[in-house]
Amino acid sequence: MPAFKPSRRRLRQLGSLLRHPGDHLRLYRTLSRARAAGASAPRASYKYVGQYLAASLTRQTRLAAILHHHDLVARLAAQHGNTLWREPFVLWQHDDEHGRRHAVSLHAAGLAPMEGECELAYCLDGKRLFTLTFAFVGGEIIGEAEGTLLFVGGLQGAYYAREELRYAARANGEIAAPTLLLLAAAALAEALGIVRLAGPSRRTQASATYVVDGRSSSLDYDELWAGLGGEPTARGFFIVDSLRDPAATAEVSGKHRSRTRRRRRLRAAIRAEMLATIQTALNQPGRPARPGWSTPVLAGSNA
């Protein structure tokens, strides 16, 4: 029988556990609180020992990000119930004229767990076509903001799904799947009182070091965030005001004005529907809705 040979990753995790037992104990307790509150949370996590969330983060900031996320989710689940944090939670769905079902749902991170703790998935007839992975983090990890941010670690489309993605965009009024996921992220952020999204640049994205077909990523994150009105930071990240819609205030010109306005109205309607669904999940029977919440629209770069 061949001898067991642990992988480098396992050896790195074991070494970190031996050197920093207190850090692992803090994380274990935080994850336990989240599970006790009814939220989906792993029993243990060693992700912060290696590449996680962004290429430029240190071990301590990666740990701080995971702790912040699960501590926040535990408190939200304890205060408002765990409806939102039981996967899958469907934020939005509709059946098109051909009877095909489009849906955006919230899950624990599974497709790209090194890019965050939760994921938003866009599915067509139950088949996942696009995924946005994120975590709730403290603004100090990117050095430019205070309070909690919704940090988008990555967006990823399914392989060999180009035609289905084109169909989905046409069926949704020329609103692309990544745009729908960004709308969902903005709606979730606002419902939780988070006014900023953040994300990595092309240089700091967690999978930037993985090369496929000669490219580190098929998505240009610099272009993505710039299209959303994002402000670059000194540490290689972008910050986006989730209460502002750059496309809504841009001048409409050319021969497609009516189509552009129609697409804006549709984005606004979808965004408002997502927000209402999340607020319903957060506000349990007998609990009044929090006053003063508006319903701004965050436009995606591919809409």
Residue 157 belongs to a domain: yes
Residue 109 belongs to a domain: yes
Highest-scoring range by mean pLDDT, 37-41, 160-164, 291-295: 160-164
Q: Find the range with the poorest average confidence among 92-101, 123-132, 199-208, 241-250.
A: 241-250
Highest-scoring range by mean pLDDT, 21-30, 54-63, 199-208: 54-63
Distance CA 287, CA 302 (A): 37
Mean pLDDT of 239-254: 64
- To the nearest whole number, what is the mean pLDDT of the chain? 83
pLDDT confidence tier of residue 2, bands split at 50, 70 and 90: low
pLDDT at 253: 55
Residue 192 belongs to a domain: yes
Q: Angle at which helices 177-191 and 257-282 pack, to 10 degrees?
A: 40
pLDDT at 16: 67
pLDDT at 196: 93
**To the nearest whole percent, how much of the chain has pLDDT over 90?**
54
Domain at 213, CATH number: 3.40.630
Mean pLDDT of 175-194: 95
For residue 156, the SS3 value is strand
Residue 14 belongs to a domain: no
Residue 212 belongs to a domain: yes
The answer to whether the CB of 206 falls within 8 A of the CB of 163 is no
Domain count, the chain: 1
In this predicted structure, the answer to whether residue 264 has a pLDDT above a threshold of 90 is no
pLDDT confidence tier of residue 38, bands split at 50, 70 and 90: confident
The answer to whether the CB of 196 falls within 8 A of the CB of 291 is no
In this predicted structure, the answer to whether residue 3 has a pLDDT above a threshold of 80 is no
Residue 61 belongs to a domain: no
pLDDT at 43: 74
Q: Find the range with the poorest average confidence among 32-46, 130-144, 247-261.
A: 247-261
Q: Please choose, from the candidates 202, 204, 232, 207, the residue with its C-alpha nearest in 3D space to the C-alpha of residue 156.
A: 207
Distance of CA 23 to the CA centre of its chain: 25
Top pLDDT among 132 and 299 is at 132
pLDDT confidence tier of residue 285, bands split at 50, 70 and 90: very low
pLDDT at 231: 93
First to last CA, the chain: 57
Taken in order 280, 109, 51, 76, the sign of the CA dihedral is: positive
pLDDT at 215: 40
Residue 44 belongs to a domain: no
In this predicted structure, the answer to whether residue 50 has a pLDDT above a threshold of 70 is yes
Mean pLDDT of 177-206: 94
Q: Find the range with the poorest average confidence among 35-49, 99-113, 265-279.
A: 35-49
Q: Find the range with the poorest average confidence among 225-229, 252-256, 280-284.
A: 252-256
Range(s) of the domain holding residue 193: 88-282
**To the nearest whole percent, how much of the chain has pLDDT over 70?**
80
Residue 301 belongs to a domain: no
> What's this model's pTM, rounded to 2 decimal places?
0.84
Top pLDDT among 295 and 216 is at 216
pLDDT at 22: 79
- The label of the residue with tokens 């640049």 reads 201
pLDDT at 261: 80
Distance CA 257, CA 251 (A): 10
In this predicted structure, the answer to whether residue 195 has a pLDDT above a threshold of 70 is yes
